[in-house]
């Protein structure tokens, strides 16, 4: 069945999660951050994901905003940065993450082809609204779906159910796109046609589902979607 709907993970897929630390590291007086910003950004993202997985397993759901703060606190301590002002600035910038350069044109091409577009994210609704607004993507998305509606994080199948509930689609009508290998694998196991945006050139995760497609960015996504 032809693809009718393209659904995207948000953080790391449409939005550059390293942008907050990268931007702040260039400011005068941020020498301590400049020396470690890449490791800090990687640690922050890793803990953000790990905490969401652990909470999914234990059933201790809290908002992704709290998970994001907890991950940052761990990363700051791990990198020897005990700076409340830095913490607050990094958190503020997380609401204004830049989209990857190819994203606006790619979404516009999908819309022109008659394919519905949406975000499906662990992010809380207010976080996602802030990122979408800051990146000027609102007119290019038909829906922004958050795990808040089910009170559970990916890869719980109830999260992927949100797509069919909203768009009245079957899984084979959906192209799901994520930069997280585990998310792409889970979505493939769920039944979505899946593209892994493998920006870092990592190996495929050894999980039950295997993404049917890979790319190192999203520039060719609209062309792919119209041929499936």
Which residue in 9, 16, 43, 109 is the catalytic one? Answer: 9
Active site residue 9: yes
Closest CA to 62 of 11, 94, 41, 70: 70
Are 79 and 43 contacting, i.e. CB atoms less than 8 angstroms apart? yes
Q: Which regions of 25-156 does DSSP assign to beta strands (E)?
A: 116-121, 143-146
DSSP per position, 123-175? S-HHHHHHHHHHTT-GGG-SEEEEGGGTT--TT-HHHHHHHHHHH---GGGEE
Partnered with residue 118 across adjacent β-strands are: 7, 143
Residues with catalytic roles: 9
């Amino acid at each position: 069945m032809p693809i009718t709907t393209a659904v995207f993970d948000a953080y790391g897929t449409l939005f550059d999660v390293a942008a907050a630390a990268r931007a702040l590291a260039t400011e005068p007086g941020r020498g301590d951050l400049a020396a470690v910003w890449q490791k800090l950004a990687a640690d922050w993202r890793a803990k953000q994901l790990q905490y969401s997985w652990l909470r999914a397993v234990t059933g201790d759901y809290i908002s992704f905003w709290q998970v994001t703060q907890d991950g940052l606190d761990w990363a700051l301590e791990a990198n020897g940065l005990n700076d409340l002002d830095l913490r607050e600035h990094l958190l503020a910038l997380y609401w204004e993450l830049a989209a990857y350069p190819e994203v606006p044109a790619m979404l516009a091409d999908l819309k022109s082809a008659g394919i519905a577009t949406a975000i499906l994210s662990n992010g809380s609704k207010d976080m996602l609204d802030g990122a979408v607004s800051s990146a000027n993507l609102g007119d290019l998305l038909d829906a922004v779906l958050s795990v808040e509606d089910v009170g559970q994080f990916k890869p719980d199948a109830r999260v992927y159910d949100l797509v069919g509930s909203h768009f009245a689609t079957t899984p084979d009508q959906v192209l799901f796109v994520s930069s997280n290998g585990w998310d792409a694998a889970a979505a493939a196991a769920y039944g979505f046609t899946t593209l892994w945006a493998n920006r870092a050139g990592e190996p495929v995760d050894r999980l039950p589902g295997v993404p049917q497609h890979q790319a190192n960015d999203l520039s060719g996504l609209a062309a792919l979607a119209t041929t499936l």
